[in-house]
Amino acid sequence: MDNVLARPFARGANWRKLWTFFRRWPVLPVLVFAALVVAAIFAPLLAPSSPTEGNLEFRNEKPMWYPEGSSRFILGTDALGRDVLSRVIYGARISLLIAAIVLGAGAIGGTMLGLVSGYYGGQVDEVAMRFVDLTLAIPFILIALVVVIVLGQSLAIIIALLVIFSWNGFARQVRGETLQLKTMDYVSLARVSGATTSRILFKHILPGVTNTVIVVATLRVGSLILTEATLSFLGVGVPPPTPAWGLMVSDGRQYISTAWWITCFPGVAIFLTVVSMNFLGDWLRDRWDPRLRQQM
């Protein structure tokens, strides 16, 4: 009898442990990000067909779970007969490529500017921060529309535009951390001992802001993917027939009532990627901030 009564309590305890584990560790966001990386790297092996070649004979084919669907097209086809699943998988490669290049360039440039601005202060800090404010005040979508009209639509132009407007967040965060770190005793001792400015910046201050840079980069992944998708949806992003999630959503909007899967599945991919990266960034921020860690 005791064993029978103890079973519900044991199951309840197991569920609580599982719930605590999922709350403590970002399991689902990491799985989504890992799936994105795997899809981007192994897209030629995972995609069942070519993402750009279609057959009008199979246009707007329904997903396989429909009675009229076929196992050949698991998520259906678009208006040109291209496999939606293959395009979603290859779209992960485009999104990850753009995010990696833009974040790499933005993080390096913004971190360097933030270090210099926060360490020197004065006129250097004033000029740098006003330049940051200027980039934040410029309407990015409008600039992108004008640049694409003048220079043409290409992946390189979109990446360049995103790089130009991606460093300001890093600069502000690193500058704030540097203002605090440069007053620490170990930095003062390094200055008194004759350490050069470059050594102080890169040996003593940069390691202290690395966690902040990683958190900002993680949080910016989602916003960059969303921005690229928005530009592609408006027709000024990745040029067709390149499989980009935003472009796929735009291609399927006129078929939303008859072939909803063309728009829905790339939209779900955008949603899951952005949400997972935001959750992962929040977890890293809470984990690495001592003040927030005490409240966990």
Q: What is the pLDDT of residues 206-246, one digit of tens each?
A: 888 888 888 888 888 888 888 888 888 887 888 888 888 88
What is the torsional sign of CA 225, 230, 235, 240?
Answer: positive
Alpha-carbon radius of gyration of the chain = 24
Q: Is the pLDDT of residue 104 over 50?
A: yes
CB 236 within 8 A of CB 288: no
What's the CA gap between 220 and 119, in Å, rounded? 25
Higher pLDDT, 293 or 271: 271
What one-character DSSP code corresponds to residue 83? Answer: B
Fold designation for 2-293: MetI-like fold (1.10.3720)
- Amino acid identity, residue 121? G
Listed by start position, the domains of the chain span 2-293
Q: Is the pLDDT of residue 294 over 60?
A: no
- Residues 256-264 have a mean pLDDT of 89
- Residues 100-105 have a mean pLDDT of 90
DSSP-derived 3-state class of residue 139: coil
Q: List helix spans (H) across the chain.
A: 2-24, 27-41, 43-46, 84-120, 122-137, 140-151, 155-164, 168-181, 185-192, 197-199, 206-234, 245-251, 261-288, 290-293
Q: Is the pLDDT of residue 21 over 50?
A: yes
Q: Determine what percent of the chain is predicted with pLDDT higher than 70.
A: 92
Res 150: pLDDT:
87
- Residues 23-45 have a mean pLDDT of 86
User: pTM for the full model?
Assistant: 0.82
Res 1: pLDDT:
47
CB 83 within 8 A of CB 69: no
What's the CA gap between 160 and 193, in Å, rounded? 42
Res 111: pLDDT:
92
Q: Is the pLDDT of residue 5 over 50?
A: no
Closest CA to 31 of 290, 294, 293, 272: 272
Q: What is the mean pLDDT of the chain?
A: 84
